[in-house]
Amino acid sequence: MQSFDTPVALVTGSAKRLGRQIISQLHQAGYRVIIHYNQSATDANNLASSLNQQRPDSALTIQANLLDDRAVQLLANKALACFNRLDVLINNASSFYATPLSSATLTNWDDLFGSNVKAPYFLCKALAPALAANKGCIINMVDIHAQQPLQDHSIYCMAKAALLMMTKSLARELAPTIRVNGIAPGAILWPSQQLAEADKTAILQQIPLQRTGTPEDIANTVLFLLQSPYISGQIIAVDGGRSLGAAQKA
Ligand SMILES: NC(=O)c1ccc[n+]([C@@H]2O[C@H](COP(=O)([O-])OP(=O)(O)OC[C@H]3O[C@@H](n4cnc5c(N)ncnc54)[C@H](OP(=O)(O)O)[C@@H]3O)[C@@H](O)[C@H]2O)c1
């Protein structure tokens, strides 16, 4: 049985991959969790069932397409109704693909900006009063490519750059009641679209630690930020040193 005092976390896009690991570790740390998904209903429901077997009434799922403005507001309303409180919002859902300038479309723009920055912004707006009531936290999943262009991904990079600035701006605006931070992953899980082995090797060569990170590295950073009451407005790169760039010769 969960008590009313047990903190609650909402993680968007958390049926699979990094979001799923964040949900699992938050649950392990004692949180009640809300698993948001769009298309991955089976994964989301299986995850919730397995967590509820470990602790009854500790996990719920909500479906919403973050490109639909009304659905974003409904997601916020439903999330608040789940456990009647909210302590943590993690904006993790994202679309990611190449958009070379020559073939980029308005639909690409709306999709990449919608999922990576517009929906996170309006979720923050809708959920800020509830988060403030519990001195809550927002964590935005940014990307090291918010600051370093990724070839042929200009719209994605611009959207993540906006999310980075949103993190800093809202950290000011929502202080002192809500802390807002970001995590900028490097290569953690390869994108779901196929990546050629040669491209993977080229990326690994740019990483000082010479390997990809793990979903646990990201979830551990989420827990670190939640347990760090004097950190706000920061973006932590979890990238094996990749954002350092190549060493310069003297
Ligand atoms: N993986 C990495 O190495 C890496 C590197 C840099 C940054 N990041 C960032 O870290 C976060 C997690 O990465 P990831 O690779 O685990 O993400 P992902 O698998 O690419 O996407 C996570 C989820 O986002 C949801 N999503 C996408 N568009 C949506 C929409 N319109 N409405 C609602 N949900 C939508 C999808 O949910 P459904 O499946 O339910 O449709 C998807 O499962 C992302 O913000 C990503 O940009 C990851």
Q: Which residue type, as a one-letter code, is found at position 57?
A: D
37 DSSP β-pair partners: 63
Catalytic residues: 156
Q: At what angle do helices 215-226 and 17-28 cross, to 10 degrees?
A: 50
Interacting residues of 147 by C-beta distance below 8 A, sequence separation 6+: 161, 164, 184, 243
- Please report the pLDDT score of residue 194 as a whole number: 76
**Residues 20, 12: Cα–Cα separation, whole Å:** 10
* Dihedral pair phi/psi, residue 239, rounded to 5°: -145, 15
* Domain definitions of the chain by residue range: 8-240
CB 46 within 8 A of CB 217: no
Angle at which helix 69-83 crosses helix 119-133, to 10 degrees, equals 20
Is the distance from CB of 13 to CB of 93 less than 8 angstroms? Answer: yes
Does CATH number 3.40.50.720 belong to domain 8-240?
yes
Residue to mutate (ligand 1; options 14, 18, 42, 107; most atoms within 8 A of CB):
18
pLDDT of residue 250: 83
CB 141 within 8 A of CB 89: no
Question: How many whole angstroms separate alpha carbon 82 and alpha carbon 60?
Answer: 7
Give pLDDT, residue 249: 86
Compute the distance from residue 15 Cα to the ligand 1 centre, in Å.
Answer: 10
Q: Tell me, in angstroms, the distance from the centre of ligand 1 to residue 26's CA.
A: 18
What is the distance in A from the centroid of ligand 1 to the CA of 94? Answer: 4
Res 1: pLDDT: 58
What sections of the chain are H helices per DSSP? Answer: 17-28, 41-54, 69-83, 106-113, 119-133, 154-174, 197-205, 215-226
* Residue 71 in contact with ligand 1 by CB distance below 6 A: no
pTM of the model: 0.98
Low-confidence residues of the chain: pLDDT under 70: 1
Nearest CA to ligand 1 atom 1: 189
